[in-house]
Amino acid sequence: MNVLVELHSDGYVQVYGPARCMVINRPHVTNPVDGAKVDYMLNLLLPQTYAQLRTADQLIGTGLVQKIRPSDLQCAVQRLSLWDIEPQRAMSMRIRG
């Protein structure tokens, strides 16, 4: 099951996927003690169905936000313009290097 989380520059979030989800913004902490406190508070604040998901065996991915660069958009436009005349070549073009 794949899920795509799209973060807009204004803070708006869109989530695409086959299941329901909840998006939270975890407060920034600088030490493990405060991190443990935040974990405890989140588990109290979240609906039970989501609090139960916050375990290591339920984590399905981590990473940083991937920004779409202007060059990525330019390549995508090139792929679209090729699509009608050379679909195979358009599909083989890489958007990200």
In eight-state DSSP terms, residue 60 is -
Q: Cβ atoms within 10 A of the Cβ of 76, count?
A: 13
Whole-number pLDDT of residue 86: 67
For the four alpha carbons of 49, 51, 57 and 59, in that order, the dihedral sign comes to positive
Query: What residue segments make up the domains of the chain, in order of their start?
Result: 1-66, 67-97
Whole-number pLDDT of residue 18: 81
Q: What is the pLDDT of residues 2-36, one digit of tens each?
A: 777 888 877 888 888 888 888 888 888 999 999 99
